[in-house]
Structure 1
Amino acid sequence: MVRVKSFVFNPFSENTYILHDDSGEAVMIDPGCFDKAEIAEIAAYIDTNNLKPVHIINTHAHIDHVLGVAALKRKYSIPFALHQLDEPLLKAVKTYASNYGFNGFDEPEIDSYLKEGEIFSFGSTDLDIIFVPGHAPGHVAFVNHAARFVIGGDVLFRLSIGRTDLPGGNHATLLESIRTKIFTLPDDYTVYAGHMEPTTIGFEKKNNPFFR
């Protein structure tokens, strides 16, 4: 069974996830660790649980979700995957990172592209890739049907949604992504978002103010 471990990193309080299963293989999603202490926290969890990191995959490429990608790629000699439409967002980070106090941003190389309809697999775990633009043009989410959860990035939050006033954002597109791709999942699926605590599909369908 796949396990989901979350960490809260950087001044944006971004949720970084490590997924791992009984094979010992692990995947890092949206590593936002930006200093040595946060990277050490990731490493300690990996070492304590005898995990073998095999890949980094990102829901999207805003600064708070990519700060640790390059360092972890080097540390574990593993590839990094992103949706192709978010590559310009990744390349733009170095132009504004210092404005947020992140000097010398280390831009990671993309090794492969994530595509909707494909299945990302590691160990004995499968993640369905769904395309959910609106917060970012190449935003994707990862769905595990066996454990009934979605790693949703900055699409749907508990009682809120992702912001759409950043470059490439579109409010109507985001609402459509949620209605047609997220809310069509079963109500009991857990949503692990890019910020704040987890929620469920059913709770958000009933209570989220953007869908009343």
Structure 2
Amino acid sequence: MNIKTFEFNPIAENTYVVYDETKECVIIDAGCFFPDEKRQLLDFIVDNDLIVKHLLNTHLHFDHVFGNKFILDQFGLKTKANEKDLFLLEGMPAQMRMFGFKDVEEAPEAGELIEENDTIEFGNQKFIVLAVPGHSPGSVAFYSIDGNCVFVGDALFRNSIGRTDLAGGNQNQLMEAIRSRLFTLPPETIVYPGHGPQTTIRNEVNNNPFFR
């Protein structure tokens, strides 16, 4: 399994393209905002002859869905996301104004709804959906057993956790979800967050100050 990481938009969001030898791929959290960012993403897919099978969202905060309309226009794919986050799409203009964005087109509605223990398949890969609410009510993670990695959105960062002061956030719920869904994964599991550098479950169990 191969993982390409892009850092997109003024919020420095991580967008991931995950693919294997079959050339099938998924895009996780398409945060491309500027035209050159959209070209970067498209050029990578075209240059590597990739076939986009799924657009996945760990959650639906605006910085993670900027590119959803672009992916819909290019590949005909709507995002797969959890139903509990759909209200965030409706409130996207207000979210963006709060962070100083103006006149940005709204993200399209979600397509297929996903929930805990669902599986996402592409190529020879399989992701298991884990519910990690707290940063947002519908936050999920995508866990690959064979790839020994998990894509956690803004639930968990290196030596930190996601903010919980936005609509629907709940710190106690987030910390419990991290303990029960993420810290129970194998210690060597690589954690790919929605912002910042990757980490491991072992590092976060041992060093994350929120869990001391």
Q: TM-score range by the shorter chain?
A: over 0.9
AA of the residue aligned to 2:55: I
Residue ranges of structure 2 left out of the alignment (5+ in a row): none
Query: How big is the shift at 1:135?
Result: 0.2
Partner of 1:5: 4
Question: TM-score, normalized by length of structure 2?
Answer: 0.96
For 1:98-137, what aligned pairs fall within 5 Å after superposition?
98-99=97-98, 100-137=100-137
Partner Cα separation in structure 2 for residue 97 and residue 207 of structure 1: 33
SS in 2 for 1:108: coil
Query: How big is the shift at 1:168?
Result: 0.4
Sequence identity, in percent?
40
RMSD: 1.0
2:151 paired with 1:151: yes
- Number of aligned residue pairs: give it: 211
SS in 1 for 2:202: helix
Residues 36-83 of structure 1: CA distance to partner in whole angstroms, max 9, x if unpaired? Answer: 100000011111111011221100000110111111111111232110
SS in 1 for 2:17: strand
Runs of 4+ deviating beyond 3 Å: none
2:141 paired with 1:141: yes
Query: How big is the shift at 1:23?
Result: 1.1
SS in 2 for 1:112: coil
SS in 2 for 1:113: coil
Partner Cα separation in structure 2 for residue 205 and residue 193 of structure 1: 15
Question: TM-score, normalized by length of structure 1?
Answer: 0.96
Partner Cα separation in structure 1 for residue 95 and residue 85 of structure 2: 16
AA of the residue aligned to 1:159: N
Partner Cα separation in structure 1 for residue 102 and residue 150 of structure 2: 29
Q: Quickly say closer, same or farther: Cα 1:154–1:22, change in 2 above 3 A.
A: same
Partner of 1:185: 185
Residue ranges of structure 1 left out of the alignment (5+ in a row): none
Partner of 1:93: 92
